[in-house]
Amino acid sequence: MTAPNESGQASSTDGKSGMIEQAKDWIDYRLPIFSFMEHELHDYPTPKNLNYWWNFGSLAGIVLVILIVTGIVLAMNYTPHVDHAFNSVERIMRDVNYGWLIRYVHMNGASMFFLVVYIHIFRGLYFGSYKPPRELLWWLGIVILLLMMMTAFMGYVLPWGQMSFWGATVITNLFSAIPGIGDYIVTWLWGGFSLGNPTLQRFFSLHYLLPFLIVGVVILHLWALHVHGSNNPLGIDRKSEKDSIPFHPYYTIKDLYGLGVFLIFYMAIVFFAPNALGEPDNYIPANPLVTPAHIVPEWYLLPYYAILRSVTFDIWFLEAKLLGVIAMFASIFILFLLPWLDNSKVRSARFRPIYKQMFWIFLVDCILLGMVGAHAPNDKVFPGVDWFEYVRLGQISTAYYFFHFLVLMPLLAKYEKTRPLPESISEPVLKGTESGE
Amino acid sequence: MSQTAEGTVFQDPDGGDDKSRRDFLTLATAAVGATGAGLAVWPLIDSMNPAADTLALSSIEIDIKPIEPGQRITVKWRGKPVFIDRRTPKSIKQAQTDDGAKMPDPQADKDRVKKAEWLVLIGVCPHLGCVPLGQKTGQSRGDYGGWFCPCHGSHYDFSGRIRKGPSPKNLQVPEYKFLNETTLRIG
């Protein structure tokens, strides 16, 4: 790109490309949007050793766009009224041109969004991406996760099926656990004395709004990212220009390749198993007088649901119900404290032999919590072993979840003997070539 | 204060720049602004509370003549199920003898009914809002013969009191009145 001169006129004037250059320069002189893109998307120096786990941030961004685009089109055919919502969704599925496709892309898009974001979060946990100077970047990510959960929850209510209705009833009732004012808050959330039409309409309004808030926070997230740049698998800062490569074309092409692989997976679900991740009960219209035998949230919320149900005992004057709600919210809010709970100077688990193992145990613990959330509390984990019910497994897994953050992380930061860090990102690579590896 | 060519200017007796007065003005402006913002936000928040038409639908009348002893019926009130249970002498007796039992939310049976034969309850589990089972024949009534919530396993007795499971409270008794021998008004 040529630098604009004082008047904003480009110096090159040969033919058509000169015209475009001139127009670009004219705009850039007044609103430096092209320089900005050049700087942040093209030249943007990026660690040269990023692996495929770094693809999931851009994937999350792309899924968000897919969700917003399909959602806007769905909203053109959806009716947010208790008498019409279910039928309008069925009409989208049967009568609207490609309505089935758009809805399945949207519905499974939510699952894909969470899948990609969870991998992105665990990537951050493994490679220590939450550590200085990226604490705010991490915080903004958690805010995005919270907004995603709210959006997904409200979106799930919109088809007004049995699971929409009863899932929303259970979740809104969580607020009744707040001492004193809980019942008023629930009535306020509902806009009535039970989950009804006012609730559906406000959920639709908010379900439309929140994704744009997410976009706003994503922009802040990217801004914070671009201040210090990406972390990398070695978890060490870049020391010289040799450690970086420009974002374009190296990572644009890598992200595109990852996108291709991801879309194959995503579309395979959309076309061959569109309802595999959903609950069949949601194809039954909502009935306020009959509760389904087994209320379960969508898979991406199961671990939190397990934590909620694990507290079955009162502590002191606090009721089990309130404690369960506190534990559930704490399981997410504890992530905000992580940069201080783990103040080990070494970021990447590659150089933290014990943390590396604890990371995998923690991942298994989260998966266990997900399994617990999917089962009724009194189901037996192993047939024949009567005392080992899922609620018991949930209590153990919940205890471990908090143990990991509150005890293990601070202790490891203090006592773990870390392996020596390489001098620079380039060093292990160059050494490797020298020794002929 | 002193006169200058430009007019009157404030002068701090200590010769400073009159900080405390500026602070006061800043605080006062912020306080008025915050109050105004709060007042402006209140209509938005209150608009999400139940509207007048929702509140208007708050009472129903039910003909209870056809209900046989031992029969339970469900009616819809304010979008929620209400259980009406015409109890048998046996279950009334059980409910009364259980008054002394240990329970999370102790309450005597006589405080939960207007006429011992008629138990009227909001059919919503106080735990997380599911509808307990036990209204229809063949449904589980839990370990205490009343109702059983399938969602998280709360057991209720013949008086709708919580006896076992996560619910912290008894099934709620709505406001109701017997208008005459055969008509019940809820709300």
Which of A188, A294, A320 is closest, CB to CB, to B166? A320
Distance from CA of A78 to the nearest CA of B (A): 22
- In terms of Cα–Cα distance, which of A327, A311, A320 is closest to A392? A311
- In terms of Cα–Cα distance, which of A393, A103, A186, A5 is closest to B78? A186
Q: Using an 8 Å Cβ cutoff, are A68 and A31 in contact?
A: no
Write out the two tokens for A176: 């009744």
**A96: helix, strand or coil:** coil
pLDDT digits (tens, 9 = 90+) for A137-146: 999 999 999 9
B15 pLDDT exceeds 60? no
Chain A residue set in contact with B, beta carbons under 8 Å: 166, 169-170, 172-174, 176, 187-196, 198, 202, 288-291, 293-295, 309, 312, 319-321, 324, 377-378
Q: A-chain residues within 8 Å CB-CB of B167?
A: 321
Distance from CA of A365 to the nearest CA of B (A): 22
A281 is catalytic: no
Q: B-chain residues within 8 Å CB-CB of A188?
A: 45, 48-49
Cis check for the bond before A133: say yes or no (omega within 30 of 0): yes
Cα(B124)–Cα(A399) distance, integer angstroms: 31
Which of these is catalytic: A207, A254, A375, A404?
A254
The DSSP bridge partners found for residue B3 are B8
**B83: helix, strand or coil:** strand
What is residue A12's predicted lDDT score, i.e. its pLDDT?
Answer: 47
Q: What percent of chain A has pLDDT over 70?
A: 94
Interface probe for A, chosen from B151, B162, B169 (most Cβ of A below 10 Å), is B151
Q: For B139, which residue in chain A has the nearest alpha carbon? A: A293
What is residue A327's predicted lDDT score, i.e. its pLDDT?
Answer: 95
What is residue A435's predicted lDDT score, i.e. its pLDDT?
Answer: 46
Cα(B48)–Cα(B52) distance, integer angstroms: 12
Cα(A221)–Cα(A232) distance, integer angstroms: 17
Q: Using an 8 Å Cβ cutoff, are B147 and B23 in contact?
A: no
pLDDT band at B142 (very low <50, low <70, confident <90, very high): confident
A254 is catalytic: yes
Which of A187, A193, A295 is closest, CB to CB, to B130? A295
Cα(A50)–Cα(A55) distance, integer angstroms: 9
* Inter-chain CB proximity B49 and A170 less than 8 Å: no
What is residue A15's predicted lDDT score, i.e. its pLDDT?
Answer: 63
B60 pLDDT exceeds 90? no
pLDDT digits (tens, 9 = 90+) for A39-98: 998 889 999 999 999 999 999 999 999 999 999 999 999 999 999 999 999 999 999 999
Q: For B74, which residue in chain A has the nearest alpha carbon? A: A289
* Inter-chain CB proximity A288 and B152 less than 8 Å: no
User: What type of residue sits at position A369?
Assistant: L
Question: Parallel, antiparallel, or unpaired: how do β-strands B60-63 and B2-4 relate?
Answer: unpaired
Cα distances (Å, whole numbers) of residue A287 to A163, A165, A254, A284, B154:
10, 8, 49, 8, 21
The DSSP bridge partners found for residue A161 are A285
What is residue B154's predicted lDDT score, i.e. its pLDDT?
Answer: 87
What is residue A240's predicted lDDT score, i.e. its pLDDT?
Answer: 87
* Inter-chain CB proximity B168 and A202 less than 8 Å: no
Q: For A293, which residue in chain B has the nearest alpha carbon? A: B150
User: What type of residue sits at position A11?
Assistant: S
Cα distances (Å, whole numbers) of residue A258 to A34, A52, A56, A121, A254:
26, 8, 8, 17, 6
Interface probe for B, chosen from A169, A185, A202, A291 (most Cβ of B below 10 Å), is A291
What is the pTM (predicted TM-score) of this model? 0.85
What is residue B130's predicted lDDT score, i.e. its pLDDT?
Answer: 86
Cα(B145)–Cα(B147) distance, integer angstroms: 6
Cα(A218)–Cα(A224) distance, integer angstroms: 10
Cα distances (Å, whole numbers) of residue A246 to A238, A241, A249, A250, B101:
13, 10, 7, 7, 74
* Inter-chain CB proximity B50 and A194 less than 8 Å: no
Determine the distance from the C-alpha atom of residue A401 to the mean position of all C-alpha atoms in its chain, rounded to a whole number: 19
Range B123-135 average pLDDT: 87
Range A253-258 average pLDDT: 96
The DSSP bridge partners found for residue B83 are B74, B121
Q: A-chain residues within 8 Å CB-CB of B54?
A: 191-193, 196, 198
What is residue A295's predicted lDDT score, i.e. its pLDDT?
Answer: 85
Range A373-385 average pLDDT: 86
What is residue A2's predicted lDDT score, i.e. its pLDDT?
Answer: 46
A16 is catalytic: no
Give the residue with greater pLDDT, B29 vs B126. B29
Which of A187, A294, A312 is closest, CB to CB, to B49? A187
pLDDT band at B11 (very low <50, low <70, confident <90, very high): low
Cα(A100)–Cα(A79) distance, integer angstroms: 16
pLDDT band at B136 (very low <50, low <70, confident <90, very high): confident
- If you write DSSP's letter for every residue of A274-335 in order, what string do you get? TTTTS-GGGGSB--TT---SS----GGGHHHHHHHHH--S-BTTB-HHHHHHHHHHHHHHHH
Range A167-172 average pLDDT: 91
